[in-house]
Structure 1
């Protein structure tokens, strides 16, 4: 009797390892975000570095940074930019990042070149194709829910 109970217990426990978890997959959301079967997609990752323009006056820099921020907001509103942000002070001359919602360097070059600070060579852009979670497309929506003040 003990052997039968032990055997039944063994069978019950071993089948747990083969059971599948219920998926929370949302096909509609995956399609909306452009996700592949792994929930991933291609973006273009951009590192902004200090550019060659060292002669801009403080007034010119202020105007260029205002244009830089306006361009970031415009591209985000158009769903062409999913992540942007500055780096803290570093010895690599890295100033910030953009993650563009596109899959080619050529398309990303057009987007990054719409930035007045890039046009004025305050920043220089280094672009590379990047594969990551399609859920990055939800960042703007989530950020708006947690930001008290818009930049």
Structure 2
């Protein structure tokens, strides 16, 4: 019994010493981004799928998707949306993704309610809690510098 206890203590002490402190750690930046001790935080991951509503009127459809894009840009400026983008054609009906910088599914649902394409049921959303790098949204500033045309 003592031998098992000794092995358990040795294993735990090894695990505790296996983690190291990052010499590049920036406490202020971590706090600003809402990072935990691993540099991570919770988001809501959304898969946008083809919805049940089909709109044949191309002018109306264009207006809805223009509103969809404006909503994406607004949410990104507010810091509530850190990733958005379309999928290429696929057999699953997947149209795009959002990664919302919110912690709860109801918060994400409230953001989706303002999206014209979701509101019109052209797109429908599947939402999941997701844990990722707190630095995820930091790429947006760089993206603005390489984006030649705005959608």
User: Which TM-score band applies after superposition, normalised by the shorter structure?
Assistant: 0.7 to 0.9
CA distance in 1, matches of 2:102, 2:53: 28
1:87 CA drift (Å): 0.1
1:23 CA drift (Å): 1.2
Worse-superposed segment, 20-29 or 93-102: 20-29
Q: Equivalent residue of 1:148, what SS?
A: coil
Instruction: Tell me the residue number matched to 2:103.
Output: 103
Please provide the CA RMSD for this pair. 1.6
1:59 CA drift (Å): 1.3
Native 8 Å contact 1:83 1:139 kept in 2: no
Give matches, 1:1-151, under 5 Å: 23-151=23-151
CA distance in 2, matches of 1:97, 1:66: 17
Instruction: Tell me the residue number matched to 1:5.
Output: none
Worse-superposed segment, 81-90 or 25-34: 25-34
Native 8 Å contact 2:55 2:61 kept in 1: no
- What is the number of equivalent residue pairs in this alignment? 133
Runs of 4+ in 1 over 6 A off after TM superposition: none
1:140 CA drift (Å): 1.2
Pair member with larger Rg: 1
Long gaps (5+) in structure 1:
1-17
CA distance in 1, matches of 2:21, 2:82: 31
TM-score of the superposition, structure 2-length normalised? 0.83
Native 8 Å contact 2:44 2:101 kept in 1: yes
1:55 CA drift (Å): 3.5
Native 8 Å contact 1:40 1:132 kept in 2: yes
Map Cα deviations across residues 58-97 of structure 1 (whole Å, 9 max, x no partner).
1111000000000000000000000000000000000000
Native 8 Å contact 1:82 1:100 kept in 2: yes
